[in-house]
Amino acid sequence: MKETGLNRKQLGALGEERAAQYLEGLGYRIRERNWRCRTGEIDIIAESGPLLIFVEVRTRSGNRAFGTPQESVDYRKQQQVAGTAQVYIHRCQLQELQPRFDVISVMTDKAGGSISIEHFENAF
């Protein structure tokens, strides 16, 4: 049995929901969640003024023994998100918006209760 009571997929969905609520609270408009194409998936695509924001959400429970969630967004993941963002911009004809890549780190306790949300703008 897992310590958190939540499996990895449930924990990820919980983190993405909290991240979306956080962004909406800042006045961002959520365009897409879990947008997929052949090159990959983007957790959240949001809009704020002239910005089109591609957000990678990382959720962890418990301690930081394995590093912080944002540290797990490595170069390969950054390249995958950037490539997928290009496909989205092209398909939706959104070239007039300025792309930005953010990471939102959600830390929870073992039961899935929120401990912290950190937002890293222009993360890569």
In a domain, 3, yes or no: no
* Tens of each residue's pLDDT in the chain, 124 residues: 344 467 888 888 999 999 999 999 999 999 999 999 999 999 999 999 999 999 999 988 876 666 666 778 999 999 999 999 999 999 999 999 999 999 999 988 777 776 789 999 999 9
Q: What is the CATH number of the domain that holds 26?
A: 3.40.1350.10
pLDDT for the residue 69: 66
Residue type, 120: F
Per-residue pLDDT, 64: 60
If one counts the domains in the chain, the total is 1
In a domain, 107, yes or no: no
Estimate the share of the chain in helix, then strand, then coil, as percent rounded to the nearest 5. Answer: 30, 40, 30
pTM of the model: 0.88
pLDDT of residue 60: 83
pLDDT of residue 63: 61
Whole-number pLDDT of residue 9: 87
Can you give the pLDDT at residue 66? 65
Has residue 110 been placed in a domain?
A: no
Give residue 68's pLDDT: 67
Contact yes or no for 89/105 (Cβ under 8 A): no
Bridging pattern class, strands 98-108 and 40-48: unpaired
Range of the domain at 32: 8-67+74-98
Instruction: Report the distance separating Cα 124 and Cα 113, nearest Å.
Output: 28
- Give the per-residue pLDDT at 82: 97
